[in-house]
């Protein structure tokens, strides 16, 4: 039975620290160089989609099923077969989707920018308002926060529980303050915690009664089919259906892409929403672009064929990712369980493992890992303005290194957690 660090005497902690420092120096001498700063697919994952590049060549028929020549203008909302594929991925109707270029982050930025300059479906542009605020479940996705910060939008932290955001607090803000214009959500295998929103949470979202008519839920369903296991898969309610049932059909935008399905930077992205929202957005798109890359949309459609092909492909991704996640979790469970110096969630999908260290320790752990050759996402990145009020949360991204590298990195990580925790308890940091 392991003795919790907070039950050790000062002498025991000092003895432990000396042993940990010796081990740390040994690891430092190995000169490792492992980067886990971002959730990048590994090389073996990128190889999975290489046959897609052979689906279309100079002798291919470049027309869609409906006869559109993908080499030319047309199909502003995306070619029919790709819209159908993306709609099936998000479990919505084809008429409710627009297929864009490679990046869902770009769609989110555009959506904020359009709201800022031209308003939401005819409402007052946000740039003409005295104050615009956004709710941010934390820990969350740093690039979401970067967008709202870029536009000078005030961000408000909302605690993220094991079943989703604190909906009592969400409702309190949304239903009382007309300056609250949106909330960022990663509802399935959330970045970084890996949790999925419960049915109750989704229904509470749909039933919100916003003080602002132009309040919108920004539902980034980035990991909707990114399962790690065949027999343990999270399922969430369809937010578009639930909003329609609750009489709020226009309240949500859903975003996704194939960035971690086919090729990051060369995939296709999708926006799903109500027909009213889609119509308004298309009017803006008509000014913004003649159309997105239809050849790439055709390539994706012919490679995956249908939703079953997409799911079969994602099973291969899961088979590659699972050993990497399990290498980290095995080290955490073996080395840290019972010491009461950290907590973590074991996700069933997505790209991250979220670790909560003792208060005031995250930055020091990340720094010590870096000195040992393991690069992590900067401490604080999972909070608006890069400020974790407890300096506790650390995002671990296991996808890019090999399983062997992940095992080595996890060993260093738990060593740094132990060392910094001992120093914390001794009052040294």
Q: CATH code at 292?
A: 3.40.640.10
Write the DSSP symbol of residue 102.
S
pLDDT band of residue 30 (cuts 50, 70, 90) is: confident
| Assigned domain for 56 exists | no
Sheet of 342-344: strands edge to edge? 342-344, 353-357, 393-396
> Is residue 244 located within the same domain as residue 318?
no
Q: What is the pLDDT of residue 428?
A: 77
Cα–Cα distance for residue pair 43/400, rounded to 1 Å: 7
| Assigned domain for 51 exists | no
- Residue range 161-201, pLDDT digits in tens: 999 999 999 999 999 999 999 999 999 999 999 999 999 99
356 in helix, strand or coil? strand
> Is residue 249 located within the same domain as residue 163?
yes
Of the candidates 260, 255, 285, the residue with the CA atom closest to the CA atom of residue 272: 255
What is the phi/psi pair of residue 272, to 5°?
A: -120, 140
| Assigned domain for 50 exists | no
Cα–Cα distance for residue pair 100/292, rounded to 1 Å: 6
Domain termination site, one of 241, 270, 305: 305
Has residue 49 got a pLDDT over 70? yes
Q: Which of 7-11, 105-109, 361-365, 400-404 has the lowest mean pLDDT?
A: 400-404
> Is residue 249 located within the same domain as residue 315?
no
Has residue 274 got a pLDDT over 80? yes
CATH classification at residue 31: 3.90.1150.10
> Is residue 211 located within the same domain as residue 70?
yes
Q: What is the pLDDT of residue 305?
A: 97
Q: What is the pLDDT of residue 211?
A: 98
Considering only residues 39 and 280, tell me which one the structure prediction assigns the higher pLDDT: 280
Q: What is the pLDDT of residue 34?
A: 85
Sheet of 216-220: strands edge to edge? 97-99, 269-272, 252-257, 216-220, 180-185, 133-138, 154-161, 164-165
What sign does the CA torsion over 261, 293, 240, 109 have? positive
| Assigned domain for 57 exists | no
pTM of the model: 0.96
Residue 253 forms beta bridges with which residues? Answer: 218
Mean pLDDT of 128-139: 98
> Is residue 24 located within the same domain as residue 106?
no
Domain termination site, one of 305, 327, 354: 305
pLDDT band of residue 36 (cuts 50, 70, 90) is: confident
Q: What is the pLDDT of residue 57?
A: 96
Cβ–Cβ under 8 Å, residues 145 and 383:
yes
Paired tokens of 34: 């492992």
| Assigned domain for 73 exists | yes
Domain termination site, one of 257, 274, 305: 305
Cα–Cα distance for residue pair 395/379, rounded to 1 Å: 8
> Is residue 173 located within the same domain as residue 204?
yes
Cα–Cα distance for residue pair 38/389, rounded to 1 Å: 22
> Residue 392: which domain range?
5-45+311-425
Mean pLDDT, the chain, rounded, equals 96
Write the DSSP symbol of residue 101.
S
Q: What is the pLDDT of residue 35?
A: 84
What is the phi/psi pair of residue 166, to 5°?
A: -70, 100
Mean pLDDT of 415-419: 98
Of the candidates 260, 226, 306, 270, the residue with the CA atom closest to the CA atom of residue 48: 260
Write the DSSP symbol of residue 4.
P
> Is residue 135 located within the same domain as residue 283?
yes
Cα–Cα distance for residue pair 9/23, rounded to 1 Å: 21
Cα–Cα distance for residue pair 36/49, rounded to 1 Å: 22
Cβ–Cβ under 8 Å, residues 307 and 315:
no
Buried b (16+ CB within 10 A) or exposed e, 207-226: bbebebebbbbbbbbbbbbb
Cβ–Cβ under 8 Å, residues 79 and 304:
no
> Is residue 259 located within the same domain as residue 359?
no
In degrees, rounded to 5, the angle at the alpha carbon of residue 278 between the alpha carbons of residues 138 and 146 is 30
pLDDT band of residue 302 (cuts 50, 70, 90) is: very high
Q: Which of 87-101, 118-132, 329-343, 401-415 has the lowest mean pLDDT?
A: 401-415
Has residue 156 got a pLDDT over 70? yes
pLDDT band of residue 93 (cuts 50, 70, 90) is: very high
Q: What is the pLDDT of residue 32?
A: 83
Q: What is the pLDDT of residue 124?
A: 98
Phi-psi region of 287 (alpha: psi -120 to 50; beta: other; left: phi over 0): alpha
Paired tokens of 363: 């930055």
> Is residue 397 located within the same domain as residue 364?
yes
Of the candidates 361, 359, 360, 354, the residue with the CA atom closest to the CA atom of residue 377: 354
Domain count, the chain: 2
Q: What is the pLDDT of residue 37?
A: 82
Four-CA torsion 140, 345, 254, 180, nearest 10 degrees: -40
> Is residue 296 located within the same domain as residue 256?
yes
Q: What is the pLDDT of residue 242?
A: 98
Q: What is the pLDDT of residue 429?
A: 64
Q: What is the pLDDT of residue 19?
A: 96
| Assigned domain for 12 exists | yes
Mean pLDDT of 309-322: 98
Paired tokens of 382: 């999972």
pLDDT > 70: percent of the chain? 100
> Is residue 174 located within the same domain as residue 319?
no
| Assigned domain for 54 exists | no
> Is residue 347 located within the same domain as residue 326?
yes
Write the DSSP symbol of residue 33.
-
| Assigned domain for 317 exists | yes
């Amino acid at each position: 039975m392991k003795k919790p660090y907070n039950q050790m005497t000062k002498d025991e902690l000092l003895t432990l620290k000396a042993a940990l420092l010796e081990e740390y120096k040994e690891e430092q001498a190995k000169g490792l160089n492992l980067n886990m700063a971002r959730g990048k697919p590994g090389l073996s994952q990128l190889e999975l989609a290489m046959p897609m590049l052979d689906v279309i060549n100079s002798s291919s028929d470049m027309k869609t099923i409906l006869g559109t020549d993908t080499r030319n203008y047309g199909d502003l909302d995306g070619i029919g077969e790709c819209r159908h594929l993306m709609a099936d991925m998000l479990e919505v109707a084809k008429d409710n989707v627009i297929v864009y270029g490679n990046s869902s982050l770009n769609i989110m930025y555009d959506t904020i920018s359009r709201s800022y300059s031209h308003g939401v479906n005819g409402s007052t542009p946000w740039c003409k308002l005295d104050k615009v605020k956004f709710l941010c479940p934390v820990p969350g996705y740093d690039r979401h926060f970067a967008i709202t910060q870029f536009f000078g939008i005030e961000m408000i932290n909302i605690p993220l529980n094991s079943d989703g955001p604190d909906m009592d607090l969400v409702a309190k803000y949304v239903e009382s303050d007309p300056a609250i214009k949106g909330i960022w959500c990663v509802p399935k295998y959330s970045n970084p915690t890996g949790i999925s929103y419960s049915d109750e949470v989704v229904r509470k979202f749909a039933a919100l009664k916003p003080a602002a008519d132009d309040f919108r839920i920004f539902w980034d369903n980035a990991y909707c089919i990114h399962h790690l296991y065949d027999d343990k898969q999270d399922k969430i309610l369809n937010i578009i259906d639930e909003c329609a049932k609750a009489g709020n059909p226009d309240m949500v935008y859903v975003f996704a892409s194939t960035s971690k399905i086919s090729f990051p930077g060369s995939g296709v992205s999708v926006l799903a929403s109500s027909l009213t929202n889609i119509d308004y957005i298309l009017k803006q798109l008509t000014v913004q672009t003649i159309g997105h890359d239809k050849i790439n949309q055709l390539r994706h459609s012919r490679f995956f064929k249908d939703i079953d092909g997409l799911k079969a492909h994602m099973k291969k991704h899961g088979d590659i990712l699972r050993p990497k996640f399990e290498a980290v979790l095995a080290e955490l469970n073996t080395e840290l369980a019972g010491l009461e110096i950290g907590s973590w969630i074991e996700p069933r999908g997505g790209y991250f493992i979220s670790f909560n260290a003792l208060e005031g320790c995250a930055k020091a752990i990340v720094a010590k890992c870096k000195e040992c050759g393991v690069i992590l996402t900067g401490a604080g990145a999972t909070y608006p303005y890069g400020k974790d009020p407890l300096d506790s949360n650390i995002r671990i991204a296991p996808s890019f290194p090999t399983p062997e590298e992940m095992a080595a990195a996890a060993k260093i990580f738990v060593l740094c957690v132990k060392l910094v925790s001992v120093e914390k308890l001794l009052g040294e940091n």
